[in-house]
Chain A
Amino acid sequence: KQEVTQIPAALSVPEGENLVLNCSFTDSAIYNLQWFRQDPGKGLTSLLLIQSSQREQTSGRLNASLDKSSGRSTLYIAASQPGDSATYLCAVEVDSNYQLIWGAGTKLIIKP
C-alpha cells in the first residue's frame, strides 16, 4: 500500500534563505507527483506537477525534483519570503487506480 511521508512536520526559517522540503513515498509505481500549497483554513493550490518520466519541474522560485527509484521528491524554494508561509503538501497519483495519496504536509513559517 502506498504511503507518503513529509518530514519535517514544521519548519521555521529567516526570510531570504533557500530551503528544501522533503516528500518520500513507499511504492515507485506512480503516475505523477504533485506539490500543493494550503493557506490556513483555505483550500489547496497546485504548485507543480511532475510526471513519472520527468526529473524536475520549475515555476519561478520553486523547483521540484523527483527520484522514483529512491521514492523521494524535494521542493526547493529560493530566496524565501514571508508570503511563502503556508503548509506544503505532496501527493502521488498511483498507477493502479489513479487516485491521489497524500502526505500530511510541512508547515512552513518564514520569519521577517
Chain B
Amino acid sequence: DGGITQSPKYLFRKEGQNVTLSCEQNLNHDAMYWYRQDPGQGLRLIYYSQIVNDFQKGDIAEGYSVSREKKESFPLTVTSAQKNPTAFYLCASSPDFQETQYFGPGTRLLVL
C-alpha cells in the first residue's frame, strides 16, 4: 500500500528535551511538508522540501529543524527552543511542489 506514515501517534516531551517526529512516504513524491495544527486555528507551515537535500523555512520554523537525506523521509525535530510545542503535527507530500498534497495521520505532541 502506498501512503504516508507518521510515528509515533503520541509523543511526550520533557522540558528542555529535543524530540524527533518521523515521516515516511512510499509514493515517490519529490515534495514534503510539515504543518502544525492548533485548536481553532488553520494549519501553519513549519518547513517544506521540494527535493532531496533541500528544504525551506515556512511561517513558523523557529524552534524546529528538519533534514531531507532521503527522498522518502522528512523527520522533524522539535528542539528545546520551541517553548510551546503542544500541538498536532501533520506531514504531507506531493508529486511536485504546487501539486495536491497527501497527508499522514499526524502525531500529537504533549509536554510533561
User: Number of B residues whose C-beta is below 8 Å from A?
Assistant: 23
A71 smallest CB distance to B (angstroms)? 16
B43 within 8 A of A: yes
B42 contacts A89, C-beta separation under 8 Å: yes
Select the stretch in A12-20, A44-52, A55-63 that faces chain B: A44-52
B101 → A minimal CB distance (Å): 7
Given A31-B98, A49-B100, A93-B98, A104-B105 contact (CB < 8 Å): no
Q: Are B40 and A104 in contact (CB under 8 A)?
A: yes
How distant is the Cα of A49 from the Cα of B100 in the complex, in angstroms? Answer: 8
Whether the pair B100, A46 counts as a contact (CB closer than 8 A) is yes
In the complex, whether B104 has a CB less than 8 A from a CB of chain A is: yes
Q: Is the C-beta of A78 less than 8 angstroms from some C-beta in chain B?
A: no
Cα distance A46–B42 when bound, in Å? Answer: 15
B71: Cβ under 8 A from any A Cβ: no
How would you classify the secondary structure of chain A's contact residues: helix, strand, loop or mixed?
Answer: strand
A102 touches B42 (CB 8 A): yes
- Bound together, the chains give a CA A36 to CA B87 distance in angstroms of 19
Q: Given A89-B42, A101-B42, are A43 and B98 neighbors across the interface (CB < 8 Å)?
A: no
CB distance from B31 to the nearest CB of A (A): 10
Q: How far is the CA of A91 from the CA of B103 in the complex (A)?
A: 14
Residues of chain B having any CB pair with chain A under 8 Å: 4, 6, 40-45, 48, 58, 88, 90, 92, 97-98, 100-106, 108
